[in-house]
Amino acid sequence: MSIRERLSGNEAIATAMRQVHADVMPAYPITPSTELPQYFSSFVANGQTDTIFVPVESEHSAMSACIGSEAAGARTMSATSSCGLAFMWEMLYVAASNRLPIALGVVNRALSGPININCDHSDAMGARDAGWIQIFSETNQEAYDNFVQAYRIAEHEDVKIPIMICQDGFITSHGVQNIELLEDDIVKDFVGEYNPTSWLLNPEHPEAVGPYTNPPYYMEAKYGQLQGLINAKKVALDVAKEFKEISGREYGLFEEYKMDDADYVMVMMGSAAGTCKDTVDMLREEGIKAGLLKIRMFRPFPGEEIAEALKGAKVIACMDRTESYNSQDGPIGADVKAALFNAGMAPKVLNYVYGLAGRDVTVESLASVFEDMKTVDETGEIGDTYRYLDLRG
């Protein structure tokens, strides 16, 4: 039986963390993820979970402690944002290369500078090539559900890759929404006990973790990581099927919204997808065949599946809540265009930078993007393919 609540996104993920009952949580506070370790440490202090909470002196230390505890065979989690994630940079690569299925709650916030504490995706996008699974959430409900599923994906024998569960800073992390929680015992049974096949403190099978790797072996190790990431796609879908059985809520690698006959499709991820759905609904009433493809799993990027979903679109707009500074496209734009090219498809594609540092995203602004797509379709002239949305003069 589900439990109806009204929670912020941070409260929702902290609740999922409590229900998962991981063994260890090292963490260091940073806005807007500070509430995650704050709430969770309260759960520990109140005896609601027997997880060992480890306060550390920095985010680098937090991920270092995660690596140590996970390598020792303990299910481990943490949380961070923005510059905190950047401070973990070195250790993110170490965690992934050692195939340690740590779960990290990431509350997306702009990276400095200029300094800003509001939402964009520059922190997670900077880490997109570190070898972690990355799953993005539109709502507080999705943030909760995604974290409940996280360990089942990351710890799978065919995966063994750390995982980031991302949500938008302040928009969902501090915004309160109606949510349905699962009962504690249902989550515990769904996630299951952690039974690693190898761990650092096993006297029967001594091993080294993170040894120096010579050139004859390094590439093979990286190829192994890649295979684990690729396998995560199927595992995530299998886990989602089981999750639907206990929750009634359905998840895929991405969500298609009114895509069956869409001529103009927006591709985006995160909380702004909700605004895009309202925009699509409005345009549909006006007779415009608009649609949304909302990415849930960004790493590994489901390129073949996305290309198949976009095969009927006349014009596509890729929406990036970050700036990659290559003057051609953002992370979503680059990956979508690569997927389309590999599939032998050549629709017209626009790429927009939007919502940086918490800039408001409105129905009116997204409607203007659909209007741009319609103009490109009708005139055949694409103009600038890389654009900023709602840039003040």
DSSP 249-266: ----SEEEES-TT-SEEE
Domain boundaries, the chain: 3-247, 254-388
How many Å from the N-terminal Cα to the C-terminal Cα in the chain?
Answer: 53
Helix (H) or strand (E) holding 38: helix 35-45
Closest CA to 258 of 282, 291, 289: 291
Residue 352 backbone phi and psi in degrees, to 5? -115, 135
The secondary structure of the chain in percent helix, strand, coil, rounded to multiples of 5, reads: 40, 20, 40
**What dotted CATH number matches 3-247?**
3.40.50.970
Question: What's the one-letter identity of residue 346?
Answer: A
What's the fold here for domain 254-388? Rossmann fold (3.40.50)
pLDDT confidence of residue 1: 63
pLDDT confidence of residue 393: 81
Give the Cα separation of 273 and 293 in Å (integer).
9
pLDDT confidence of residue 196: 93
pLDDT confidence of residue 182: 98
Per-residue pLDDT tens, the chain, 393 aa: give them: 689 999 999 999 999 999 999 999 999 999 999 999 999 999 999 999 999 999 999 999 999 999 999 999 999 999 999 999 999 999 999 999 999 999 999 999 999 989 999 999 999 999 999 999 999 999 999 999 999 999 999 999 999 999 999 999 999 999 999 999 999 999 999 999 999 988 998 888 888 888 899 999 999 999 999 999 999 999 999 999 999 999 999 999 999 999 999 999 999 999 999 999 999 999 999 999 999 999 999 999 999 999 999 999 999 999 999 999 999 999 999 999 999 999 999 999 999 999 999 999 999 999 999 999 999 999 999 999 999 999 998
Give the Cα separation of 40 and 301 in Å (integer).
31
Do domains 3-247 and 254-388 share one topology? The answer is yes
